Amino acid sequence: MLMFLMIMATVILFVPSITAQEAGVSAWMVPLIVPTLAGYLTVWMACKLEERFSGLTLVQYGELILGKLLGKPLGCLYILFLFILDVLVIREFAGFFSVTMLPNTPILVLNLTVVLVGGYAALQGIEVIGRMTQFVLPLFVLSFLLLISLVLPDADFGFLQPLLGDGVMPIVKSTVVPASWYGEIGVLVLLLPMVNKTQGVKRKGFITLLAVACFLTLDIFVTQIVFGAEQTASFMFPFFELAEYVEIGDIIQRIESLISIMWITGIVVKAALFTYLISLGVSQVLGLKTYRLVVYALMPLQLILGTYPAISALNLSRILAQYWPLFGLFFEVVVPLFLLMVAFLRNMRLGGSG
Amino acid sequence: MFKKLFKGMLGFSSKGLHCQKTSDQSQEIRPLSSNIQTNLQALRQVFDLCIDVVFREFMVDAEQPIKAFVVFIGPLTDLEMISEQLIRPLTQQTSGLPPGVKLSITNAIQVLQDYVLNVAETNTIGDQTELVNKVLEGNTALVLDGSTSAIITGLRGGAVRNVDEPDTEPVVRGPKDGFVESVDTNISLLRRRLKTSRLKVEAFKVGALTKTNVVVCYVKGIANDKVVNEVKQRISRVNMDSVLGSNYIEEMISDEAITLFPLIQYTERPDKTAASLVEGRVAVMTDNSPMVLLAPATFVTLLQATEDYYNNAFFATMIRLLRFIALNIALVLPAVIVALFSFHQTMVPTSLLTTAAAAREGLPFPIFVEVMLMELTFELLREAGVRMPKAIGQTVSTVGGLVIGQAAVTAGIVSPISVIVVALTAIANFAIPNYAAGTAIRILRFALIILAGFLGALGIMMGLMATLVHLCSLRSFGVPYLSPIAPLSTKDLKDTMIRAPWWSMQTRPRLFGAKEPVRQDPDQGPSKPDSGGGG
Chosen from A131, A142, A299 to mutate, greatest number of chain B CBs within 10 A = A131
Say whether residue B258 is in contact with chain A using an 8 A CB cutoff: no
Residue A202 CA, distance from chain mean position: 18
End residue of a domain, out of B297, B320, B339? B297
Q: What percent of chain B has pLDDT over 90?
A: 13
Which position has the higher pLDDT, A338 or B511?
A338
Residue B189's pLDDT band (cuts 50, 70, 90): very high
Nearest residue to A92 (alpha-carbon basis) of A274, A296, A247, A220: A274
When pLDDT is cut at 50, 70 and 90, the band that residue A309 belongs to is low
Above 80 in pLDDT, residue B68?
A: yes
Percent of chain A with pLDDT over 90: 0
Considering the domain architecture, whether residues B208 and B121 belong to the same structural domain is answered as no
H or E stretch covering A266: helix A256-286
Q: What percent of chain A has pLDDT over 70?
A: 41
Q: Do B462 and A101 touch (CB under 8 A)?
A: no
In which domain, by residue range, is B424 found? 312-479
Q: Is the pLDDT of residue B187 over 90?
A: yes
Q: Which of A97, A265, A296 is opposite residue B465, by nearest beta carbon? A: A265
> Which of A116, A134, A257 lies at the smallest CB-CB distance from B457?
A257
Nearest CA in chain B to A103: B343
Q: Phi and psi at residue A351, in whole multiples of 5°?
A: 90, -5
Amino acid, res. B356: A
Nearest residue of A to residue B346 by CA position?
Answer: A254
From chain B, the residues in CB contact with A131 under 8 A are 472, 480, 482, 486-487
B347/chain A closest Cα distance in angstroms: 6
Q: How far is CA B422 from CA A76, B337, B428, B435, B443, in A?
A: 53, 10, 10, 19, 14
User: Which residue in chain A is spatially nearest to B483 when comparing CA positions?
Assistant: A131
Q: Of B186, B118, B178, whose CA–CA distance to B153 is shortest?
A: B118
pLDDT tens-digit readout, B124-180 = 888 888 888 888 888 899 998 888 888 898 888 777 888 888 888 888 888 888 999
Count the Cβ atoms, other than its own, within 10 Å of residue A161. 8
A187: nearest Cα among A276, A285, A316: A276
The per-residue pLDDT for A354 is: 33
For residues B328 and B453, membership in a common domain is answered with yes
Residue ranges per structural domain of chain A = 2-238+251-346
Mutation to test the A interface, candidates B345, B454, B468, B493, most A Cβ within 10 Å: B468
Question: In the CATH hierarchy, which fold is given to the domain comprising A2-238+251-346?
Answer: Amino acid/polyamine transporter I (1.20.1740)
Q: How far is A91 from chain B (nearest CA, A)?
A: 15
Q: Do A101 and B486 touch (CB under 8 A)?
A: no
Residue B24 lies in a domain: no
Strand partners, A253: A247
Tell me if residue A157 falls in helix, strand or coil: helix
Distance CA B159, CA B170 (A): 25
Given a cut of 60, whether residue B262 has pLDDT beyond it is yes
- Position A349 pLDDT exceeds 60: no
pLDDT computed for residue A15 by the predictor: 47
**pLDDT greater than 80 at residue B243:** yes
A131·B455 Cβ contact <8 A: no
Burial A330-350 (b: 16+ CB within 10 A, else e): ebbbebbebbbeebeeeeeee
Amino acid identity, position A283: S
Contact between A255 and A150 (Cβ < 8 Å): yes
Q: Name residue B370's amino acid.
A: E
Chain segment A241-271, per-residue pLDDT in tens: 666 666 655 555 566 666 677 777 777 777 7
What's the pLDDT band for A23 if we cut at 50, 70, 90?
very low
3-state SS, residue B390: helix
* Interface membership of A251 toward B (CB under 8 Å): yes
Residues of B in contact with A114 (CB under 8 A): 462
Size of interface A-B (CB pairs under 8 A): 84
Q: Does residue B225 lie within any of the structural domains?
A: yes
Of the residues B469, B471, B473, B485, the best mutation for testing chain A's interface (the one with the most A CB atoms within 10 Å of its CB) is B469
The chain B residue lying nearest A109, using CA atoms, is B455
Mean of the per-residue pLDDT values of chain B: 82
Pairing of strands B199-206, B140-144: unpaired
Number of domain units in chain B: 3
The residue among A107, A112, A128 with the most chain B CBs within 10 A of its CB, best to mutate, is A128
Q: Is the pLDDT of residue B237 over 80?
A: yes
What pLDDT, in 10s, does the model give residues A315-324? 666 666 666 6
The reported pLDDT for the residue numbered B388 is 79
Residue B123 main-chain phi, psi, to 5 deg = -155, 165
Nearest CA in chain A to B473: A128
Residues B244 and B348 grouped into a single domain: no
CA B433 to chain centroid, in Å, comes to 14
Q: Does B461 contact A250 at a Cβ distance shorter than 8 Å?
A: no
pLDDT band at B271 (very low <50, low <70, confident <90, very high): very high
Q: Work out the angle at residue A304's Cα, subtended by the Cα atoms of residues A316 and A2, and round it to the nearest 5 degrees.
A: 65
A79-93, A121-135, B20-34: range with lowest mean pLDDT: B20-34
pLDDT in tens, B448-478: 999 988 888 888 888 888 888 888 888 888 8
What is the pLDDT at residue A130?
74
When pLDDT is averaged across residues B485-508 and rounded to a whole number, the result is: 75
Tell whether A252 is within 8 A of chain B (Cβ).
Answer: no
Q: Which of B348, B455, B466 sits opposite A120 (nearest CB)?
A: B466
Q: Do B343 and A102 touch (CB under 8 A)?
A: yes
Give the residue-averaged pLDDT of B55-71: 87
CB–CB of A132 and B457 under 8 A? no
Mean pLDDT of chain A: 67
Give the mean pLDDT of A196-220.
66
H helix runs in B282-406, sequence order: 313-342, 350-360, 367-387, 390-398
A349, B126, B297, B471 from A55: Cα distances, Å: 12, 60, 33, 28
SS in 3 state form for B231-299? HHHHHHHCCCCCCCCHHHHHHHHCCCCCCCCCCCEEECCHHHHHHHHHHCCEEEEECCCCCEEEECCCC
Question: For the residues B404-412, what does the mean pLDDT come to?
Answer: 79
Is A257 within 8 Å of chain B by CB? Answer: yes
Bigger pLDDT: A321 vs A3? A321
CA gap B196, B516 in Å, rounded? 16
Whether B531 is covered by a domain: the verdict is: no
Q: What is the pLDDT of residues B354-379, one digit of tens each?
A: 887 887 777 888 888 888 988 888 88
Highest mean pLDDT among A154-168, A320-334, B328-342: B328-342
Contacts of B462 in chain A (CB under 8 A): 113-114, 116-117, 264, 268
Contact present, A155 and A242 (Cβ < 8 Å): no
Mean pLDDT to the nearest integer, A12-17: 46
Identify the pLDDT of residue B284.
93
Backbone dihedral region for residue B477 (phi beyond 0: left; psi -120 to 50: alpha; all else: beta) = left
Same-domain status, B438 and B328: yes
**Cα separation of B368 and B452, whole Å?**
8
Q: Does B1 touch chain A (CB under 8 A)?
A: yes
Q: What is the pLDDT of residue B447?
A: 92
State residue A326's pLDDT score.
66
CB-based contacts of B530, cutoff 8 Å, min separation 6: none
Residues B41 and B136 in one domain: yes
Q: How far is CA A233 from CA A23, A26, A99, A157, B280, in A?
A: 10, 12, 17, 17, 58
> Closest Cα of chain A to B456: distance in Å?
8
Q: Do B468 and A135 touch (CB under 8 A)?
A: yes
Q: Which residue has the higher pLDDT, A161 or A117?
A: A117
Nearest CA to A116 out of B328, B338, B446, B470 is that of B470
B266 occurs within a structural domain: yes
- The torsion region of residue B22 among left (phi > 0), alpha (psi -120 to 50) and beta comes to beta
Cα gap A82→A328, rounded to integer Å = 9
Looking at residue A149, its pLDDT comes to: 76
Same domain, B454 and B325: yes
Q: Is residue B119, in this structure, part of any structural domain at all?
A: yes
Lowest mean pLDDT among A101-115, B406-420, B471-485: A101-115
The residue among B123 and A168 whose pLDDT is bigger is B123
Is A151 within 8 Å of A242 (Cβ atoms)? yes
Chain B contact present for A264, CB below 8 A: yes
DSSP string across A89-131: HHHHHHHHHHHHT-TTS-HHHHHHHHHHHHHHHHHH-HHHHHH
Nearest CB to A131: which of B457, B462, B486?
B486
Average pLDDT over residues B291-308: 86
Judge whether residue A47 has pLDDT over 80: no
B92-98, Cβ contacts within 8 angstroms, sequence gap of 24 or more: B92/B61, B93/B61, B94/B60, B94/B61, B94/B62, B95/B61
**Cβ–Cβ below 8 Å for A128 and B482:** no
pLDDT for A21 beyond 60: no
* Distance to chain A for B469, nearest Cα, Å: 6
Between A185 and B10, where is the model more confident? A185
Q: Quickly state the pLDDT bin for A235 (edges 50, 70, 90).
A: low
User: pLDDT grade, residue A176 (50/70/90)?
Assistant: low
B513 interface with A at CB cutoff 8 Å: no
Strand-pair category, B282-286 with B122-125: unpaired
Predicted confidence (pLDDT) at residue A302 exceeds the cutoff of 70: yes
| B469 and chain A in contact, CB less than 8 A | yes
**Torsion sign (Cα): B354, B358, B362, B364:** negative
Q: Which has more confidence, A52 or B425?
A: B425
Tell whether B466 lies on the interface with A, counting CB pairs under 8 A: yes
Q: pLDDT tens, B194-233?
A: 999 999 999 998 888 888 889 999 998 888 888 899 899 9
Q: Give yes or no for B458 touching A (CB within 8 A).
A: yes
Distances in Å between the Cα of B75 and the Cα atoms of A26, B58, B137, B150, B230 are: 90, 21, 11, 21, 37
Amino acid at B86: L
Q: pLDDT over 70 for what percent of chain B?
A: 90
Per-residue pLDDT, B533: 45
Stretch 67-126 of chain A: residues touching chain B, C-beta under 8 Å: 97, 101-102, 105, 109-110, 113-114, 116-117, 120-121, 124-125
Looking at residue B438, its pLDDT comes to 85
